[in-house]
Structure 1
């Protein structure tokens, strides 16, 4: 049976990296089905993503053995995943469920390849959806006195379910610095604003009061610095003076849903590589 592995690698740039990687994979009898690469001239870092096909012997271990000489020569940092494995995700939501519902629909129709292992909320509003779809629902209210306890339960849930990704689909709670650091690169948030403008609470109201002509949404990785994590995807839409704050919110809901779904898809397909506080995004 044919195997498909997704390979990402990074190192300091120098001549011969691509040739060395291709030579190693050829010796393994693997076929490169897709290849993308980028050289960041500022940091002199090289980034590469490959989709590699082969027979039943193709695995993460066999790839790393075949690339051993290249890894040693260029100090490559290599990561491989089995493309056939469905990633496991946890969706977190508060009262506004539009972004969550869009994710569930895209999974249902097969555009997103993932298994929802749990839905977590600080409200009961989405329990009906979760139960109807057969997903475990965890209602964990959050306040100052319970935040540490709630996050410990969340970390336990991540471990128990072996979740690959935590999605904040309009989850209106700020994760602690410790939580954000422990799960860095594994938590995606949708912020209802075109960052870096209008951070924090009620960004659409802020935008309306400023009389902006464009509003948008930003999907980013979560870090201890609020709304400042590496940006994955963004989108904007034009608005006018005839619209009120509620019109801004309604327009924003559609944008948020699309942007978050695209960001999640990119992450699940291993098309995002972190480069300091920025991302390298290899679109398909």
Structure 2
């Protein structure tokens, strides 16, 4: 796959660059460029990111960062079996537990919520940092919902992190998941409260909490640009053309109904002269 000329490979994280030092220089540069493209495209063009990840994996399958990137690309394309295999490979190479919640979520994607819950209760979870533990809680709650256990999902999300007034990178998503679970359980007033709290924490728009809140409040958003275009179109269709008299002056524009009336009067006169034919209805 072609690499844009502005991509040099130097854009990658320094830790990843250090991993690539085990490769020959030219090969390391090629792998780095493909990893940059994975990171650049994974949100807006997951399929494109997946393609670049496969190239990087073909070039350097024994580099943990490459296997991890391949896992993220597969995950973004809902290829959960492949993503799980890549995450497991990366974990074996590094011993790092950061991917544990993602691995559990892959189990959910494969239709195995019970396995995800087993992973949520494993000793490895206690070794995760705070962000990882919150992610694991979100996955566990999702698994409970997969199994139809709405009340258990709500309880799973109730935590000191949820009750905290401080805003962390995970706060908006945690509040959003809690609000969504409440709504699914029919607790609409509580859900509205937590969607509002999610909006307060969601400074970068990582969730659609504002839309969900507006929906609960019965607010409908109208695309002003589309409406203006439609109005312009209606004006263009309904506006009658101006007539021009012989002396070059513009004739007065008349309403359609008056034009019809005058036409009917004229046809009535002509009809009388030509054998009494009735004027045509409009």
TM-score by length of 1: 0.23
Between structure 1 and structure 2, the one with the greater Rg is 2
TM-score by length of 2: 0.23
Structure that is richer in helix per residue? 2
Higher relative contact order (CA 8 A, sep 6+): 1
